[in-house]
Amino acid sequence: MFISDTFEILLYINRVSNELPNNIHQNQTSLDMVVPMSSLLLPLMAILVLSTSTQISYAQNSPQDYVNIHNKARSEVGVGPINWDTKLASYAQNYINKLKANCQMVHSRGPYGENLAWGSGDITGTGAVNMWIGEKRYYNYNSNSCAAGYQCGHYTQVVWRNSVRVGCAKVKCNNGRSTIISCNYDPPGNYNGQRPYDINPFEVPLSFNHGSF
């Protein structure tokens, strides 16, 4: 059975005295949301809305499912594995439990990197992570920036080499239909002036990769 759902995904990172890529983050502790968007200075908050058909499933939400899909993307760019962290998972669950009443995308302002996904229907954990990974096509390693008008910061957080722990959670909103998924990362990624991973410069493509994902 398939339904057509709309998804929104957001990225949030909060830290002290750190910078993030491409003037995306500003060096202040009051930063709420950060969304890498090419070389343009855009509002700190942006929402990517995707319309897609998603198969209803209650599988693919286990800790190992989240870890596997993260590590598949990380291995493709030569980044070491990320490991499940129950503290991060508890943090994510405790926070999004507070969101289910109004089912609004509001970030936690916590100390971790945070990717959020919202679906008008049921979405799996792997489905949410795959949406973030789908931004890979908009990330240009040479310029360490996103294609104009597109987000790629969710993807760079997924593959950020120094983010070695992840914890995720899922909640069904009180409306009985919508879903929110959160993944938190420690240490957080997306520092200004740093790339998410290191690769051989001779292997770097000269243009954006618009292949399948």
DSSP state for residue 147 in the 8-state scheme: P
- 204 pLDDT higher than 60: no
Separation in Å, CA 206 to CA 23, 127, 149, 197, 209: 22, 30, 19, 17, 9
List the single range of 41-50, 146-155, 178-187 with lowest mean pLDDT.
41-50
How would you label 180-209 residue by residue, b for 16+ Cβ within 10 Å and e otherwise?
bbbbbbbebbbbeebebbeeeeeeeeeebe
Contact 141, 202 (CB under 8 A): no
Six-digit token string for 42: 């855009």
- 149 pLDDT higher than 90: yes
Task: Tell me what the pLDDT averaged over the chain comes to.
Answer: 76
Contact 18, 191 (CB under 8 A): yes
Domain ranges of the chain: 2-203
Contact 81, 74 (CB under 8 A): yes
How many other C-beta atoms are found inside a 10 Å radius of the C-beta of residue 80?
Answer: 12
- 196 pLDDT higher than 60: yes
Q: What is the pLDDT of residue 109?
A: 85
How would you label 30-64 residue by residue, b for 16+ Cβ within 10 Å and e otherwise?
ebebbbbbbeeeeeeebebeeeeebeeeeebbebe
Mean pLDDT calculated for residue range 138-155: 97
pLDDT tens across 86-143, in order?
999 999 999 999 999 999 888 898 999 999 999 999 999 999 999 999 999 999 999 9
Smallest CA-to-CA distance from 153 within 126, 175, 121, 131 is with 131
- 151 pLDDT higher than 50: yes
Smallest CA-to-CA distance from 131 within 80, 197, 70 is with 70
We find that the CATH architecture of domain 2-203 is: 3-Layer(aba) Sandwich (3.40)
Between 125-133 and 63-76, two packed helices, what is the crossing angle to 10 degrees? 20
Q: Model pTM?
A: 0.72
Encoded amino acid at 70, one letter: H
pLDDT tens across 36-83, in order?
333 222 222 233 333 333 333 446 789 999 999 999 999 999 999 999
Q: d(Cα 197, Cα 195) in Å, to the nearest integer?
A: 5
- 207 pLDDT higher than 70: no
* Better-predicted residue by pLDDT, 132 or 12: 132
